Chain A
């Protein structure tokens, strides 16, 4: 147990996690002399990776992400034939994430499944349960009879049975949509009495409304695609409704995720949103064969989420929160910021980089950061 003690001596110099790792991976035949050497090497390696005080990590992150992005341009490699879904990839997707767009060009959910289903059991059936279906898919015909003043809905019983949706009271559904009209059901046919309405246009509108009535499945999910990733089956959907999806019994709630960071924020919280920003951005760069240190992306994700709300990297997001007027004005829409600052009598303490560049003063970074402080009172007391 000599070794354990020796390792624990480094507790102050190394984080817990690294010490645990060293303990776990230590070879059995390692003597104390070699262990000491190893620990010293670990410490120097660890200290090498630390950012020094006054290092401009933000700018280095910006350059480290920005430079490869320009090389990525708008050209993107496509995965030919793997999935039929058209997904935004490459730089446009990275911009979408970092700008924190509210509406995505391709909203998607990746649904992971619980054990028997993840092996491919009933995969087709359950994926069909997820897709949003409208009434028109379960109807043979909807016709308007002008002479008898009725709208006739011919239900497709066979299809309803096929999808196991016999429990739905269709008459009630139609009744809700056709407010103020009398409805009745005769076998597989529903009649809507339209005597009191003589505007044919309104009747036509009513028919369209009934056609697009929500029938079953999960709302907003317009497309489902079961795919196999490695040994596991999962379902990829176009459209997002995490709350409802997570209610399904066959869904693995621990791994199911969406590519909409706002949806992740709503359903799982801000930490999940931060992690999904990191995941989305790194995945996008990795797919293009570009290697970016994850710490740069983590820093960006931290900046976007540290207030508890998601803020994009633009003038309505994190730049808006800058304390310096000059820094905000130097980014975008300068006149707006200056006038607003003047009206509220804002003060600028010139504490950040860009303001100091503007007035030609040393920026508080690197060699410009340290200040000499002498406590004269203390000196006097000693004498």
Chain B
């Protein structure tokens, strides 16, 4: 007697568990039981587990019986004609869904040829061992598994044509690739996922060689001519939104060109792009500090008299201006209301991003790299046919990563470009390297993909032939122009008087704990002190009480907080952060007494 559990609850016993299971399976095939019901007999605990709960991962498999696939050519014909569909196949008991537990007792074949009498199922496609993104890696079966995963990961960051209605959308932090192309070397998954209507890359000519050391460490050298013709060009969109908030006392924000009386008024120049309604006009070329939406807010704190005196003078300026380092063109302006009925203004900015040194590109094989040099077209090495490569890819990126698929895609792309057809590169089912090589010969090319190169500067033929081909390249969303940042002087934090953090706040670059250690290890203590002078203050310290005093400019005297003018004050140079620490200790009820002594 074997126990029977339904969703892990005991419901009864059966005498012949194996027959019980096979009855469940036949009834499921017949449609008497739900398709997502799965049953498993566990020999070790002598129990049958039936599951019908939600949240289990189930996957479809073709049923195999006595070494024969239940799917016949007739079914395929009918499918092609559209007479039957997926659900009919399930109803007819040709495909069934298995969950992890029922899979325990199933033997699944990857290929129809591999089927023996012991097999119970056949994989619909061997491709199904990987996910959607990974199956977009061409010739993935030639790779180390890690590289396929990395290739899939990189593709998720690629810029493309993500949605056709982008013009009416207000997406945050978005880029659109100009002139996207469908890959020459494609997989079945490109078809299934409708990649041709939302592609995210371009077919380029790639040569595998070094170029005066500029493409070392994964960097790529790009042809300036290709960039000028539109390769890797994209638009960057970013929304700016402002709403008229309501405050207690019937006060409200106002979107308008701020009056000159308003507190915190910038300069007339900053508001020059605003129209009468206080919003920028489309196609205005705005730069950092320019106001995009003019706005004034009521004063933060109202004292009793102010309530009767709500002149513009007491309102404060709260316009939305571009932050440091931002620029763009106003693309789209929308005026509407939000859920609470407040006036809401949304402005979309657009910025053209032409590939520049530091922009990140990738192929589909986890071979990402940044542009290190844009070479003028007349200085790019050229081939005997006159073709110039778009990208010069460093050969050192290949041996350690072992991305054979990268090389085969180049070969396949070349064949595709010459024959004018797409190359199938689906995992395990792609066109063979041998066939591709054979085909290449038909076009009068060397079957190993190499070509003669000429040095553009001397015009001489180079001593070796190099490997050239066509492949799909993608621009990734990390662009230097959104990241480049440095500062000499700049804003500081209110509390610690140390430089602000982050690019958006024009912050400093932190010299951290470990960097500090390197200065100490070198014994360069005065240089270390100078590095940390960013929050340096000179404070007077009372000799009697040991507390920090202040300078009274009217009396031209240092004042002690305890003894007033009756104490000797010594000025000391310390970091403001330390002064803050002493203040905080005092707030805890600890009396930190500073004793000074002559340094020299």
| A-to-B contact residues, CB < 8 Å | 54-56, 59-60, 62-63, 338-339, 342, 353, 356-369, 372
A sample of 18 inter-chain contacts (CB < 8 A) reads: A55-B523, A59-B517, A60-B521, A339-B588, A342-B585, A353-B520, A357-B532, A360-B529, A360-B532, A360-B573, A362-B526, A363-B528, A365-B523, A366-B522, A366-B525, A367-B524, A368-B526, A372-B600
Q: Find B529's partner among A56, A362, A369 (CB 8 Å cutoff).
A: A362
Which of B521, B522, B533, B588 is close to A360, meaning CB atoms less than 8 Å apart?
B533
Q: What residues on A are CB-neighbors of B523 within 8 Å? A: 54-56, 365-369
Interface residues of B, dominant DSSP: helix
In the bound complex, what is the Cα–Cα distance between A364 and B535 (angstroms)? Answer: 21
B384 at the interface (CB under 8 A from A): no
B575 neighbours in A (Cβ, 8 Å)? 358-360
Contacts of A364 in B (CB 8 A): 525
Complex Cα gap A59–B521 (Å): 6
> Is B29 an interface position by the 8 A CB rule?
no
* B509 in contact (CB, < 8 A): no
Report which of A54, A63, A357, A367 forms a contact with B526, defined as CB distance below 8 A. A367
Question: Which chain B residue has the least Cβ–Cβ distance from A361?
Answer: B529
Closest to B523 in A: A366
**How many contacting A-B pairs (Cβ < 8 A)?**
71
Over the window 548-578 of chain B, the binary record of Cβ atoms lying under 8 Å from chain A Cβ atoms (1 yes, 0 no) is 0000000000000000000000000111011
| Minimal Cβ-Cβ distance residue in B for A53 | B523
User: In the docked arrangement, what's the CA distance between A130 and B402, Å?
Assistant: 55
A360 touches B574 (CB 8 A): yes
The residue among B516, B535, B591 with the most chain A CB atoms within 10 A of its own CB is: B516
- With A338-B585, A357-B528 as given contacts, are A63 and B590 in contact (CB-CB < 8 Å)? no
Q: Give Cα distance in the complex from A361 to B533, angstroms.
A: 9
Most chain-A CB neighbours within 10 Å: which of B520, B524, B533, B591? B520
Contacts of A56 in B (CB 8 A): 520-521, 523
Interface contact B520-A359, CB-CB below 8 Å: no
For B522, the chain A residues whose CB sits under 8 A away are 366
B533 & A363 in contact (Cβ 8 Å cutoff): no
Q: Are A360 and B578 in contact (CB under 8 A)?
A: yes
> How far, in whole Å, are A62 and B575 apart by their CA atoms in the complex?
27
Interface contact A342-B590, CB-CB below 8 Å: yes
Contact of A362 among B525, B536, B577, B591 (CB under 8 A): B525
Q: Give, as a whole number of angstroms, the nearest-CB distance from B349 to chain A.
A: 42
* 8 new A-B contacts at CB < 8 Å, known A342-B591, A361-B573, A369-B525: A59-B521, A338-B588, A338-B590, A339-B590, A342-B585, A353-B520, A365-B523, A372-B600
Complexed CA–CA distance, A55 and B520 (Å): 9
* Distance between Cα atoms of A339 and B533 in the complex (Å): 29
- Quick one: given A338-B590, A367-B526, are A358 and B521 in contact (CB under 8 Å)? no
Give the residue among B524, B585, B600 with the most A Cβ atoms within 10 A. B524
Across-interface contacts of B600 in A (CB, < 8 A): 372
B residues within 8 A CB of A63? 517, 521
B99 CB to closest chain A CB (Å) equals: 36
**Chain B residue nearest to A341 in the complex (CB):** B590
Nearest 9 CB-CB pairings of A with B: A366-B523, A368-B525, A360-B575, A342-B590, A363-B525, A359-B578, A362-B525, A362-B529, A359-B574
> Looking at B524, B526, B528, which has the most chain A CB atoms within 10 Å of its CB?
B528
The answer for the CA separation of A56 and B518 in the assembled complex, in Å, is 10
The answer to whether B536 and A365 touch across the interface, beta carbons within 8 angstroms, is no
Report if A357-B585 is in contact (Cβ < 8 Å); known contacts: A338-B590, A364-B525, A366-B522: no
Kindly list chain A residues whose C-beta atoms are within 8 Å of the C-beta of B528: 357, 362-363
**Residues of chain B from 104 to 151 with CB closer than 8 A to chain A in the complex:** none
With the chains together, A360 CA to B574 CA distance in Å?
A: 6
Measured between beta carbons, the chain B residues less than 8 angstroms from A365 are 520, 523, 525
Q: How far is the CA of A356 from the CA of B516 in the complex (A)?
A: 12
B521 touches A367 (CB 8 A): no
Q: Bound complex: CA of A368 vs CA of B574, how far in Å? A: 16
Measured CB to CB, the closest approach of chain A to B368, in angstroms, equals: 25
CB <8 Å contact, A357 and B574: no
Query: Please, which residues of chain A bring their CB within 8 A of the CB of B517?
Result: 59, 62-63
Q: How far is the CA of A367 from the CA of B590 in the complex (A)?
A: 34
Neighbouring A residues of B532 by C-beta, 8 Å: 357, 360
Q: How far is the CA of A149 from the CA of B521 in the complex (A)?
A: 77
A60 to B533, CA, bound (A): 24
Q: A54, A356, A359: which has the most chain B beta carbons within 10 Å?
A: A359
- List residues of chain B with CB within 8 A of the CB of A62: 517
Question: In whole angstroms, how far apart are the Cα atoms of A367 and B533 in the complex?
Answer: 17
B523 to chain A, nearest CB (A): 2
Please measure, in the bound complex, the distance between the C-alpha atom of A372 and the C-alpha atom of B516, giving whole angstroms.
26
Set of chain B residues within 8 Å of A358, measured between Cβ atoms: 575, 577-578, 581
Q: How far is the CB of B488 from chain A (nearest CB, A)?
A: 20
Roughly how many angstroms separate A363 CA and B523 CA in the complex, as a whole number? 9
Contacts of A353 in B (CB 8 A): 520
Residue of A nearest to B536 (CB): A360
- CA–CA, A303 and B430, complex, Å: 65
Which residue from chain A places its CB closest to the CB of B594 in the assembled complex?
A359
Residues in A whose Cβ lies below 8 Å from that of B520: 56, 59, 353, 363, 365
Complex Cα spacing A361 to B575, Å: 8
CB 8 Å contact bits of B585-599 with A (1 = contact, 0 = none): 100101100000000
Compute how far the CA of A359 lies from the CA of B578 in the bound complex, rounded to whole angstroms: 5
Which residues on the A side are within 8 Å of B581 (C-beta)?
358
Q: How far is the CA of A363 from the CA of B528 in the complex (A)?
A: 8
- Give A364 to B526 CA distance when docked, in angstroms: 10
